Amino acid sequence: MSLKAQLEAIIYATEAPISLDHIVQLVKDEVLAAGAADDNEVKSRVRAALEELTADYSSADHGIEIRQLAGGYRMSTKPEQHDTVRAFAKSLKPPIRLSLPALETLAVIAYRQPVTVPEISEIRGVDSSGVIATLLDRKLITTAGRKAVIGRPILYKTSREFLLRFGLKDVGELPSMEEFEKLLAESFQSDLLTEPPAETVSPEAAATPADGEAAEQDDDTTAEIEVVEESAAGKTNPAA
């Protein structure tokens, strides 16, 4: 991979402006391996590549540019594209807010689908009917017929909206339960929660109904987390 391509990827991925020194540290080994004599030459090559990259993006053929802000580099939309970007941003779906019980229930459905409410409640140890209504309202789950048992309870599965929100091609791309819990913690900003998190559903619990746990009503009123749809909006960073 060329140095310019590496720098482009780094600047695209950064949320805050990234400094020249930070970039140099990230690509130092590759630049030295490419023939740079010392640290000074590494920095010189990186600076030259950044200047070329900035010039490339200044072309009228690009809707974004690389700007130096607050001592670092960051991509942002060009001022002349603001009206287009603003219209696009307004067309996006707003973030979905889900409580921790709702996320637990969604995880059970995702990994056990199709599944009934009684089965979900048995796994979680609490009555999940109220949470199911929330997930249906958010269009993250849908019905999948009825189970061929006494009472014929409704079966639930994840929806197309679920795949869109989580950036999945199909449910076959679901990560392991441990990876899913990590995804929730990282992507849904659990560090902002002010209340202790609800007990998570382990892979074993999702695979085997909990024993000896009395069902209690799940009020679905714990701290909320945002589920944000994957989009290019987060990378436009309109210039002020």
Give the span between the Cα atoms of 41 and 44, in whole angstroms: 5
Q: What is the mean pLDDT of residues 49-59?
A: 94
Q: For the domain bounded by 96-231, which CATH number is listed? A: 1.10.10.10
At CA 124, angle to CA 121 and CA 129, rounded to 5? 35
Per-residue pLDDT of 181-203, as tens digits, reads 676 666 554 434 434 444 444 44
Q: Buried b / exposed e across 138-155, counting CB within 10 Å, b at 16+? A: bebbeebeebeeeeeeeb
Position with higher pLDDT, 166 vs 26: 26
Per-residue pLDDT of 147-180, as tens digits, reads 999 989 999 999 988 888 877 888 888 887 777 7
Per-residue pLDDT of 66-94, as tens digits, reads 988 888 999 999 999 989 988 988 887 77
Answer whether residue 213 shows pLDDT above 60. Answer: no
Q: Is 122:210 a contact under the CB 8 Å cutoff?
A: yes
Give the span between the Cα atoms of 154 and 207, in whole angstroms: 20
pLDDT for position 222: 44
Q: Compute, in degrees rounded to 10, the torsion defined by CA atoms 6, 9, 12, 17.
A: -40
**Phi, then psi, of 195 in degrees rounded to 5:** -110, 155
DSSP, collapsed to helix, strand or coil, labels residue 126 as strand
- pTM value is 0.49
DSSP, collapsed to helix, strand or coil, labels residue 40 as helix
Q: What is the mean pLDDT of residues 16-21?
A: 92
Q: For the domain bounded by 3-81, which CATH number is listed? A: 1.10.10.10
CATH 1.10.10.10 in the chain, residue ranges: 3-81, 96-231
Per-residue pLDDT of 98-140, as tens digits, reads 888 888 899 899 999 999 999 999 998 999 888 999 999 989 9
